[in-house]
Structure 1
Amino acid sequence: MLTISSPSGNTYEIISYIEAFLRELEINTKRNRKGGLIATLPGKDALHHRMLTAHVDTLGAMVKEIKANGRLKLDLIGGFKYNSIEGEYCTIETASGKKYTGTILMHQTSVHVYRDADKKERNQENMEIRIDERVNSQEDVRALGIEVGDFISFDPRVEITPSGFIKSRHLDDKASVAILLQLLKKIKSENISLPYTTHILISNNEEIGYGGNSNITPETVEYLAVDMGAIGDGQATDEYTVSICAKDSSGPYHYGLRKRLVQLAEENGIQYKLDIYPFYGSDASAAIRAGHDIIHGLIGPGIDASHAFERTHKQALEQTAQLLYHYVQSEMILS
């Protein structure tokens, strides 16, 4: 999935890939009007539902302007900084489906020409795409079919090391999508009977704030977002455990559900960390803002260098998967 481009707003290909994966498992799915995918597993109790969600959309960009010299200005999709994509390879996809490669650079990159190359601000004015085609004008670029509004995807550069690390862009949140898909596969292969009807939403607009805020059934009591745990100074999260979020920029997550997740982790020997993310929002917080009367929570594998050159370890994925496996079979908080 990491190698399938899916910036917010252009996720049809990867949703189709996931849809085919679930079809092979004989799991019924439907698409919502926003283009997300919902899988539903019937449970013993059909009056009380659970929903789990992870988002498959990623950071990206659009063509903002075709410059007179044949290079492109960018407009960012999602919350990240220009310095995190400097020097990255990228792909421009035209409205007709043609794809062209390029590199994201400072206009003033060459130190042999620009004495102050290191001092210029990394922003929309100074950053541009060098297209890997013979173009020297706006007319040359448009002759390729490239136009304002075309999507730009960043090369993920996926690498799995012998020591168990996974390095790639867009582990936020494709790592968690993979965990949920494997959870569904395990439930089907082990013929597990769930206590409650459970929906899995693969959302496709989370990076722009509204991926998981709809298609929540009136019967849904618990809503658990599966997203990354952010690592940095002052954070408890690491690359080897499942992170259980107590609070983010939207406020505290449901205290009872948080305590239940901690209890499940401790009862089953799952390594976890509790953490707070001051500059973070999830599909669960988007659902709360949309006015849904739900019990909301957030967990996920710890991921380093979020919204940049991300990395996690297989162990974090395994710990998250174990917690989800026990959670979907546990009793619900009904009051």
Structure 2
Amino acid sequence: MSKLEIDTDYLAAQLKALLAIDSPTGFTDTIVRHCTRELERLGMSVELTRRGAIRAVRQGSRRSGARAIITHLDTLGAQVKMVKDNGRLELVPIGHWSSRFAEGARANIYSYNATHRGSILPLKASGHTFNEGVDEQPVDWRQVELRIDARTTSKDETLALGIDIGDIVAIDPDTEFMDNGFIVSRHLDDKAGVAASLAALEAMEREKVRTPVDIHWLFTIAEEVGVGATAIVAPEVASMVAIDNGTSAPGQNSSEFGVTIAMADQTGPFDYHLTKKLIELCGDNEIPMQRDIFRFYRSDSASAVEAGHDVRTALVAFGVDASHGYERIHLHALESIAQLVTAYVTSPVDIKRDLEEISTMKGFTKQPSASHDGE
């Protein structure tokens, strides 16, 4: 089946709502509730793991050989490493991101009994005091501190506020949707992917399309720390397509327009046959597409395979400028990805052997083979 029309107004509204919810890894209950409500509104029955990863199964013509579309709800953030003698907070990052992008950020501090506001500042924050020292200090998480917007100048006063080691720090997204389609915000990784996934599902429900196999819509909560899909992939899933960010940067081929299909990441090549199918679907449906390889990157697909799930994996990406920083994307990429997802989940199952977890050589896949001289 060909691609479906995507309601971009719905997609943008979902992204705005997701970005308004703090959800650093380890602090995802609120966004799980939000996403669950939306899935139920779309008519899905939702299952949650103990910690809150989401599985919503849209029934197809058969259960075995199911396909999965996976995104993650968690984002980067920080935790309180130490309450300092001056009342400010030393931080450690949640996920992998540079303190360079934390400097100047506004943030929520979630203690067990209250929420406080604050700013992340370099240790030498005043040019009037430190002069050139402001520009000469190193870039490192030990070189920043969180200034709390409360009356505190000592460790005891901060502890009296209820703030202590381990408290979660959520970074403000500072979101801007522009009239020309560009979207600038922190945490587009991977809330933009979640919005694209929901938009694809909304289109399928609106058009009441049927699929050859069940489709598992998966939303994980710990991708940024490398363990997102370890406990959410059901045994009947044969193939899984992750939606995540691609890096639009010098030396990369990702784009903020169209679909970026990842051929490999730091864990190695993605599945040959599934990736080839996605590329062909882009061509057949006139969806703009480019390929890329990511050296310093992994997604939910890696954690699924490492956990022992024998599934074919692929990654489709929306190009992000300044990933894990002040990120920028374009709505065109999200629409293109949602279109590709609808084309993929409604397409015929090419590898019939995948309907079984274990089988014989009969029907096993073939890859091109060059002839060689000698034995």
* Fold shared, TM-score > 0.5 on shorter chain: yes
Aligned to 2:122: 106
- Give me the whole-angstrom Cα distance separating, in 2, the residues matched to 1:188 and 1:314: 21
Aligned to 1:143: 160
- Give me the whole-angstrom Cα distance separating, in 1, the residues matched to 2:232 and 2:222: 13
- Give me the whole-angstrom Cα distance separating, in 2, the residues matched to 1:260 and 1:161: 34
Q: How does 1:236-315 map to 2 (within 5 A)?
A: 236-315=253-332
Contact 1:213 1:284 in 2 (8 A): no
Contact 1:271 1:319 in 2 (8 A): yes
Match of 1:121 among 121, 138, 153: 138
Per-residue deviation, residues 206-259 of structure 1 (Å, max 9, x unmatched) = 000010122222221101111111111111111111110000000000011111
SS state of the match for residue 65, structure 2?
Answer: strand
- Give me the whole-angstrom Cα distance separating, in 2, the residues matched to 1:295 and 1:283: 13
SS state of the match for residue 149, structure 1?
Answer: coil
Structure 1 position 328 matched with structure 2 position 345: yes
How far is 1:23 from its partner? 1.5
Match of 2:249 among 229, 232, 242: 232
How far is 1:102 from its partner? 0.6
Q: How many residues align?
A: 334
Match of 2:36 among 8, 11, 19: 19
Aligned to 2:70: 53
Structure 1 position 95 matched with structure 2 position 112: yes
Per-residue deviation, residues 173-199 of structure 1 (Å, max 9, x unmatched) = 000101111122222121111111111
TM-score (norm 2): 0.87
Aligned to 2:8: none
- Give me the whole-angstrom Cα distance separating, in 2, the residues matched to 1:112 and 1:291: 57
- Give me the whole-angstrom Cα distance separating, in 2, the residues matched to 1:52 and 1:315: 20
- Give me the whole-angstrom Cα distance separating, in 2, the residues matched to 1:140 and 1:265: 59
1:108 counterpart letter in structure 2: K
Structure 1's consecutive aligned runs of 4 or more residues displaced over 6 angstroms after TM superposition are none
Per-residue deviation, residues 56-114 of structure 1 (Å, max 9, x unmatched) = 10000001111111100001100111111111111101112x21111100111111212
- Give me the whole-angstrom Cα distance separating, in 1, the residues matched to 2:317 and 2:213: 22
How far is 1:51 from its partner? 1.2
How far is 1:300 from its partner? 1.8
Structure 1 position 185 matched with structure 2 position 185: no
2:273 counterpart letter in structure 1: G
Match of 2:91 among 71, 74, 93: 74
SS state of the match for residue 227, structure 1?
Answer: strand
- Give me the whole-angstrom Cα distance separating, in 2, the residues matched to 1:34 and 1:317: 28
How far is 1:32 from its partner? 0.8
How far is 1:261 from its partner? 0.4
Contact 1:90 1:155 in 2 (8 A): yes
- Give me the whole-angstrom Cα distance separating, in 1, the residues matched to 2:191 and 2:306: 24
- Give me the whole-angstrom Cα distance separating, in 2, the residues matched to 1:130 and 1:195: 55
Match of 2:233 among 209, 213, 216: 216
Aligned to 1:194: 211
Q: Which runs of 5+ in 2 are unaligned?
A: 1-17, 355-364, 366-375
**How many percent identity over aligned positions?**
38
SS state of the match for residue 113, structure 1?
Answer: helix
- Give me the whole-angstrom Cα distance separating, in 2, the residues matched to 1:228 and 1:215: 21
1:307 counterpart letter in structure 2: H
Contact 2:248 2:321 in 1 (8 A): yes
Q: How does 1:127-166 map to 2 (within 5 A)?
A: 127-166=144-183
1:113 counterpart letter in structure 2: T
Structure with the higher fraction of residues in helix conformation = 2
- Give me the whole-angstrom Cα distance separating, in 2, the residues matched to 1:234 and 1:191: 42
Q: Which runs of 5+ in 1 are unaligned?
A: none
CA RMSD of aligned residues (A): 1.0
Structure 1 position 33 matched with structure 2 position 55: no
How far is 1:162 from its partner? 1.3
Moved more, 284-293 or 85-94: 284-293
- Give me the whole-angstrom Cα distance separating, in 1, the residues matched to 2:51 and 2:299: 17
- Give me the whole-angstrom Cα distance separating, in 2, the residues matched to 1:64 and 1:292: 35
